[in-house]
Structure 1
């Protein structure tokens, strides 16, 4: 799976170049750049179009692993899931339980579950044909970019797309596939943040009601020195357990991506 994400990092980098070139003053030849890169990374220095050797592929993959945190955070479902889980922990009043490492790991594996169709599409349409020599590098990059483009576009709000398109001064797009990654990526991240905070607000409400009830009861009893958080915490945990909160939350987050 790390190999798929590593190749996906290379895919998104090169797939974004035509989009970036569209807003630049000088428009480089994307096909020429792809051909130059393919020749430079060719296993045979004489210029023959031979597949990359395993050692070069391994070196390239290890270099791209440094981009994995950015890819996982900004181009997958990881961001929404992690924010919602963090808000849940704060709503429960738990400072360090579950630990941050557990929340990150849970978000990562749930993201892999949600992104599995997209990663399978990238593997089938781009990685396997390129590895077998059936596709050239530029065609494989374009095929993989389409899979990520489709996923991100489904989760992006139209208002955010229009806002960043207006800022970039590109106007309307005739087709959804014409939206470049330079506009789609910030729109996707903004939409994910908005959705995550909306879900977090709905999660926070019932626990806030419990806090208000407990605080009112303690105040009416004259127990000013007793912290309402200590009293309300068991009731919050009881409510969360009774409604099978973890299963409900994980299922709702997975289904929120359609």
Structure 2
């Protein structure tokens, strides 16, 4: 299933309760059309509440969740997905990821169970998250449904060009999470220099650097309307080739979410 990914979606990890629901509602009001959550975030009900408060047409939205590693055994996939749908208040998920290839993950059995979700209309598209190239190749070979997306940590301090190239070569979308490196992009000299050149923020530069790349979109987390609007607008920033080269050449690696 081909899914239309906007350049910037909303990462919701940490959004919870009424404040979190209001942030989701605000995000939809200001133009977000891709919402990303996960079972392990324990906030699918919060995202569902925000969705219910909004009058944005459901057909215009891409709502994604992820199956946690303790629910990846083939017999657990369907009931856990039905529980996610109930918490979100939806009949169908646009995208469901294997959150990590760990725990109960069995490529043959788990991915067959995901295919059944697509066949039965509970899920429109299948994604994987935190995979490496060999694991992506196996997933593509095992799935009957086309792979829709691979979500991975990706920011100036943790660059994954081989994964992005794999996405382009195989026709799926790379969804970059933590594009602001947990706020650390403000401390990266190369990013700050590009921001100063364009009279903008390091955060905007980091988002634009990602969304400029073929095959890549991103899902930064934000809660305030100011940050929500700023992240969404960052995709309109055009960086020069030398800006990309400067950031691509950063010789540091800081992974925020190692396995």
Name the TM-score class by shorter chain.
Answer: under 0.3
Q: TM-score, normalised by structure 1?
A: 0.22
Q: Which has the higher contact order (CA 8 A, sep 6+)?
A: 1
Which entry has the higher C-alpha Rg, 1 or 2?
1
Q: TM-score, normalised by structure 2?
A: 0.22
